[in-house]
Structure 1
């Protein structure tokens, strides 16, 4: 295709796009505002490729809006000023020098945070698409400056995960609101009621914001193997496409104080409340979960669905109504991103730090998890410093202990990490040593299980040898030493030695499989 405007008829309607419903609430892209400024080719060719991508359906509407609103708009501000000599009148006139000057201009205009990088990244993506459609003929490998925003992550502060105390206070507030919603005594508006249930679902599933807001009413599916689990299916456009999350199923009880903070029960409640609104909602949103009556003056009966903006306002109202505070006594700031990172941090602890296991559960690659989500905060670092288990070296003392892979448990139904639903036993075995319900009876078999777990810790230390895992390796070595110190102090030396030798030669099957997996990975196996 020619890279000039000849052959294009700049009819105003042809450079506008009406957009379908999207999380950014943009109804139209209008490039007619850029006509007559000397850069008509940029306006026309950009709207052409954006329209083609929109019709193709492989890009989210929000991403395409970013190409125009964040990418093209700010680049045209740059070339339309006096910041560059001989600005490129067409996309095909773009040079590496132009882009270097643009990077410098963005850094001067937006020196803090990631704004400059985001605008540049949107424009860069647009240029790639223009090249795909023949409007940029130069090799893009020679066009873009290498790493124009080095150390950007250091200057951009990500939201930290909530601490366990902050999470408990938030979930306590959400539970009281859920009880009120179930009783019909909730004082908030429709948006806040849906926000309460969406937050609980987010805390249980870890789904990203846009897929969660766009969750459809048929998203909940039976688990193919486990009767008490359900799958939530959502659409994540980047990367892997559709995602499935496994969440625990319990019944939504009529006893208001016993309503569990359970993903399936809460999601079913949201579907129940919004069901009468489906027939009244527009075609764009009737299939969504989070429907409610607008409540705005003049449109009280309009049916709308939660957007990112409405969710932000509702979360703020919820936190203010409950006077929620962070650990420093300031107002608690809650976002879905922080909830997701909190869930990942907890998964990190439960998995013993296996980045592959965490990233698999959360639905993204190990690299993404490592770079963007997993923060080893002080709470996690210090949590493993104390060995909390109880020893019963002489007899059971009338207390029933359930055998577990690392030893035993005093209460596998209602213990520290158990589901506490009276049906499902705890399976968070990697976290046993930090749980007050953990118990060691003092038999050969019991100690054999504990030392088998110690062999697993040794294998993990060898598995993660790079420098960034140094603090984590120290925590694992502390556990190893604590096990040695604890058992030598509490139990007969000969018994301990027999159990340790047995674990070293043939570890308990539960831990042996995990050790085998890590050794296979270290050897380059799949």
Structure 2
């Protein structure tokens, strides 16, 4: 029988320890995107609930020192406690829990009801409760609360909350085109040295372009290190951006396109690599002058604030919000309804995640030319096809791959192989669902292929699918898109010719021509059937 943990002895030991450190109610924070400098629990003392303040600050300090949580998350925990203490001080409860260990499920149910009455709209009530609940989980883990989480927390206290809250929505094609045009105008001015905005606005322009090109989240983007840009292992026109996503407790890798950038100002490309290199170049001289905690960051600039003109600072989320609003106002950017356009890194990420963006390979300027006079026609036309053939592909994967997708260092996929189909760059990362973004494998850093006929057969079958797509989209508005597909076809030929034996390649090509991999064969047959319906 497992030994039962003695919570009371541990609680007593911790409480005794606090008698000598009652002055340590403040936790000083390192630099963080919220720009918070400290978490101060002295404000929570003297109301009859000192144990809550003391034990919570102990947990928060431990989490900070252990690197288990982002600073912004810890600030949220303290805010969650603040609202719970406001609830206790309101007198709603006849007998309030003076310590965390006296908390019951009934107390939490009353707290939830109080939040709902106080904040009836949106997700405010849920956010405050979620922050407090997260803190409670750690109070349980550290032994300050004896009850287990499943005995304490009410199930599903905010049902249907998602229906009342709006997630960041992607920009429409028209909105994105207007944004790109404005960014290009500012980028030209930056290269010419005629940009009229301040240093923070200059860096914001280049950060927005990098965000639109990479899809990196806000905090990892702001804290991106100067050595983040790395070569892509497979595709010369791509680079990898390595950043740290704290919530995922590890590194994340994103691809970013590198194009030929012309020297003439009017031909400057919105190329992610070139723009990021420009930001690195402009901030290079500031590295030695910057405080140690930000000297490794990309988005450094001289402060424009009065009395601090020579101070070296880095973009923060707060400054970014201000400079983006100024950017939209300067260019008079409106949304499709005629109101001022709201631009955030989250919206750019959502836009990049859309299938239309993926179709373009991430090149919005090329998408604009592909779309022509009616963007919705091309969008709906192509996506409808993808939705239909995706069903057939999903059925095939479900029947044929389950045994092969387990226990292999390289997972077989329709275009070749994957280093990690569960947690790769484009995978859902839920630990259960394997990645199915096979059309985008070649631009994914997790893509892998070995010199075996089976792998090359899959790759050349995918190449045959690309040919079939080109045959289907023959109208003029798809000319630029066809050129990109032809580049992928040529890339596959050049790469395999330089890496694998000629006889092996010919054998795999012949096999793909005679009998394409079933996954791609289903898609090819579908498009050929559609072509037949046209004529």
TM over 0.5: yes
Tell me if the contact between 1:12 and 1:32 (Cα under 8 Å) persists in the aligned partners. Answer: no
Higher relative CO (Cα under 8 Å, sequence separation at least 6) belongs to: 2
Question: 3-state SS of the aligned residue for 1:169?
Answer: helix
Distance 1:420 1:457, change over 3 A: closer
Alignment partner, residue 415 of structure 1: 479
Cα RMSD between the aligned structures?
3.5
Aligned-residue offset at 1:60? 1.0
- 1:456 paired with 2:520, answer no
Could you report, residue by residue, the CA deviation over 1:96-116 in whole angstroms, capped at 9, with x for unpaired residues?
000000000111111111111
Aligned-residue offset at 1:33? 1.2
Could you report, residue by residue, the CA deviation over 1:167-208 in whole angstroms, capped at 9, with x for unpaired residues?
011011001101100110001111111111111111011111
Distance 1:262 1:419, change over 3 A: farther
Question: 3-state SS of the aligned residue for 1:43?
Answer: helix
Quick one: distance in 1 between partners of 2:310 and 2:478? 45
Gaps of 5+ in 1: 370-401, 428-444, 459-479, 491-526
Quick one: distance in 2 between partners of 1:269 and 1:123? 43
Alignment partner, residue 159 of structure 1: 168
Tell me if the contact between 1:405 and 1:453 (Cα under 8 Å) persists in the aligned partners. Answer: no
Aligned-residue offset at 1:6? 4.8
Alignment partner, residue 42 of structure 2: 32
Moved more, 138-147 or 252-261: 252-261
Aligned-residue offset at 1:224? 2.4
The count of aligned residue pairs is 417
Alignment partner, residue 172 of structure 1: 181
Quick one: distance in 1 between partners of 2:209 and 2:245? 20
Aligned-residue offset at 1:285? 0.7
Tell me if the contact between 2:253 and 2:425 (Cα under 8 Å) persists in the aligned partners. Answer: no
Aligned-residue offset at 1:453? 6.8
Tell me if the contact between 2:422 and 2:429 (Cα under 8 Å) persists in the aligned partners. Answer: no
- 1:23 paired with 2:33, answer yes
Distance 1:328 1:88, change over 3 A: same
Tell me if the contact between 1:23 and 1:62 (Cα under 8 Å) persists in the aligned partners. Answer: yes
Aligned-residue offset at 1:455? 2.8
Tell me if the contact between 2:170 and 2:350 (Cα under 8 Å) persists in the aligned partners. Answer: yes
In the superposition, the TM-score normalised over structure 2's length comes to 0.71
- 1:404 paired with 2:467, answer yes
Quick one: distance in 1 between partners of 2:137 and 2:210? 37
Tell me if the contact between 2:466 and 2:489 (Cα under 8 Å) persists in the aligned partners. Answer: no
Aligned-residue offset at 1:415? 2.9
For residue 230 of structure 2, the aligned residue among 217, 221, 227 is: 221
Q: Pairwise mapping of residues 34-73 of structure 1 onto structure 2 (< 5 A)? A: 34-69=44-79, 71-73=80-82
Alignment partner, residue 95 of structure 1: 104
Aligned-residue offset at 1:360? 5.3
Distance 1:418 1:268, change over 3 A: farther
- 1:487 paired with 2:526, answer no
Quick one: distance in 2 between partners of 1:149 and 1:403? 47
Could you report, residue by residue, the CA deviation over 1:347-381 in whole angstroms, capped at 9, with x for unpaired residues?
68638356999995456536999xxxxxxxxxxxx
Quick one: distance in 1 between partners of 2:484 and 2:531? 29
Quick one: distance in 2 between partners of 1:425 and 1:415? 15
Aligned-residue offset at 1:456? 2.3
For residue 201 of structure 2, the aligned residue among 162, 176, 192 is: 192
Could you report, residue by residue, the CA deviation over 1:58-106 in whole angstroms, capped at 9, with x for unpaired residues?
211111111112x111111111111112111111011000000000011
Moved more, 409-418 or 241-250: 409-418
Could you report, residue by residue, the CA deviation over 1:319-368 in whole angstroms, capped at 9, with x for unpaired residues?
11111111111111111111111111136863835699999545653699
Question: 3-state SS of the aligned residue for 1:405?
Answer: helix
- 1:129 paired with 2:196, answer no
Quick one: distance in 2 between partners of 1:417 and 1:359? 30
- 1:9 paired with 2:19, answer yes
Q: Which structure 1 residue ranges, 4+ long, deviate > 4 Å from structure 2? A: 3-7, 353-364, 366-369, 409-414, 418-427, 451-454, 482-486
Gaps of 5+ in 2: 1-9, 360-382, 395-420, 434-464, 492-511
Quick one: distance in 2 between partners of 1:368 and 1:294? 47
Quick one: distance in 2 between partners of 1:145 and 1:194? 46
Distance 1:419 1:67, change over 3 A: farther
Tell me if the contact between 1:206 and 1:362 (Cα under 8 Å) persists in the aligned partners. Answer: no
- 1:308 paired with 2:317, answer yes
For residue 206 of structure 1, the aligned residue among 215, 226, 231 is: 215
